[in-house]
Amino acid sequence: MKKTYALVFVAVAVALGLGLAISRHPGYVLIDYPHVFRYESGLWSTLIALVAIVVVLVLAWLLLGLVLTSTGIVNPWSRRNRSRRVQNAIEQGQLDLAEGRWASAQRHLERAADAERLPLLYYLGAARAANELGRHEACDNLLERALQRQPTAELAIALSHAQLQVDRGDEEGALQTLQVMHGRYPHNVQLLRQLQRLYQQRGDWSAVVRLLPELRKDKVLPPAELAELERRAWGENLTVAAHREHIGEPGRAALEQAWQDLSSGQRQELPLVLAYAEQLRQLGAQAEAEEVLRIAMKRQYDSHLARLYGLVSGSDPARQLQAAEGWLKAHPKDPGLLLTLGRLCLQNRLWGKARDYLEASLALQRNPEACAELARLLAQLGETERSNQLFQEGLGLLDERLLALPLPA
């Protein structure tokens, strides 16, 4: 309180002193520019006018700064407020995109893309939202605008476009997009991976086979995954080749060509041997399939090959049975091999031996095929009740869900 009184006292004293000084020494100011400008006044009034002008200029400067930097109270269109609106659009658009509010996401991200200097991510998000809404033309237009704004991002935009085309079911359009980019960017890993997946999705295994060298060279896939893809691709390619139509011999020539296209090492891989022999069997080349399987089993025993061996009819059934019985010495507990031996005994009309092998196979594993084979044999031997039981068991093994379905009493 005392400080306040002191300040008031000092202010009054200064005002009185200033007033006395002005009354005693008013001073005089004359500014004259001949024939143009003339100003004359007292010194103190001139000083007061100058101070007032300075104060007005300072206030005007502060007010202008306030207008330009306002957050919306004085000037809602200021730069700072515009930046905030864009940031809000970005945040809301990304949230909408993540939560599946496609219309809102497209609107906010498109607004953000139009305002940002580097708009690629926002255009891609808006395009995805439009695609989800079925607005395919709007989606493509957004991607086109993204390319115009950032032409250096051509590959990224094309990859996104191809994926969106796949999502909308336009696999042919996606393939064209990727193939064009493949010509321009032949070693891009993401492009090769996307192209490989699309070929697989379309079931175009011959295209996958042609792509394999590039996948290996550019290390697109981990070694184990690449090896598995190679085996599957070549195996599926054999299947596809076997169903191609050829004059005189449907599929056979194409299958042989696809088999010869394999390297010598690949022609010894058991999954590929299995696929080749199975296609030969389906094309009616039973003797050739038997020979392929027998030669492969000499190199390396495989239960899947052994099972298929019982489904083919070689030129010499007795020799075929003898070969299979030779494998039994080293693999007496293989139910698939025992099933094959039972089938080969049926081919050779050795009924009792066939029954023994089939019973042994079922003792190791309850298999619907073994049940069916033994049931057929027992039916012909007059053991109807046991045959019916095995048929019922085999049917249940094929689809256990049948056992839960209601049946009439």
The secondary structure of residue 310, as a DSSP letter, is T
Residue 387 lies in a domain: yes
Number of domains in the chain: 2
136: pLDDT strictly greater than 50: yes
Higher-confidence position of 308 and 74: 308
Q: What is the CATH number of the domain that holds 364?
A: 1.25.40.10
- Whether 62 maps to a domain, the answer reads no
Q: Is pLDDT of 215 > 70?
A: yes
pLDDT in tens, 153-189: 999 999 999 999 999 999 999 999 999 999 999 999 9
Domain limits at 390? 306-399
Closest CA to 158 of 130, 180, 137, 141: 180
Q: Considering the chain, what percentage of its residues have pLDDT values greater than 70?
A: 84
User: According to the model, what pLDDT value does residue 248 have?
Assistant: 44
Q: Determine contact, residues 78/68, Cβ cutoff 8 Å.
A: yes
Which of 358, 376, 355 is CA-nearest to residue 367?
A: 358
- Kindly state the tokens that stand for 246: 């050829």
Residue 231 pLDDT > 90? no
Q: What is the mean pLDDT of residues 23-35?
A: 67
Within a domain: 372: yes
Q: Of 29, 50, 71, at which residue does a domain stop?
A: 50
Of 28, 50, 72, the domain-final residue:
50
Q: Could you give the 3-state DSSP secondary structure of residue 31?
A: strand
Q: String of b and e for 37-76 (b: at least 16 CB within 10 Å)?
A: eeeeeeebebeeeeeeeeeeeeeeeeeeeeeeebeeeeee
326: in domain: yes
CA 163 – CA 157 distance, rounded (Å): 10
> Has residue 53 got a pLDDT over 50?
yes
Quote the mean pLDDT of the chain.
Answer: 84
**Residue 179 DSSP class:** H
Rounded to the nearest 10 degrees, how much is the dihedral formed by the CA atoms of 250, 251, 257, 261? 170
- Residue 375, domain member (yes or no): yes
Which tokens belong to 105?
Answer: 């996401």
Is residue 28, in this structure, part of any structural domain at all?
yes
Contacts of 348 by beta carbon, 8 Å cutoff, 6+ apart? 317, 318, 321
pLDDT digits (tens, 9 = 90+) for 272-292: 888 889 988 988 888 999 999
Q: Give the Cα separation of 100 and 95 in Å (integer).
A: 9
Q: Judging by DSSP bridges, how do beta strands 37-41 and 29-33 pair with one another?
A: antiparallel
Q: What is d(CA 338, CA 336) in angstroms, rounded to the nearest whole number?
A: 5
- Give the number of other Cβ atoms within 10 Å of residue 357's Cβ: 28
Q: Which two tokens mark 316?
A: 């010499």
Q: 327 pLDDT band (50/70/90 cuts)?
A: very high
In a domain, 171, yes or no: no
Looking at residue 234, its pLDDT comes to 85
> Residue 247: is its pLDDT beyond 50?
no
Is 235 within the bounds of a domain? no
In our burial notation (b when 16+ CB lie closer than 10 A, e otherwise), range 155-165 reads: ebbbbbbbbbb
Confidence of residue 72 (pLDDT cuts 50, 70, 90): very low
pLDDT value of residue 78: 55
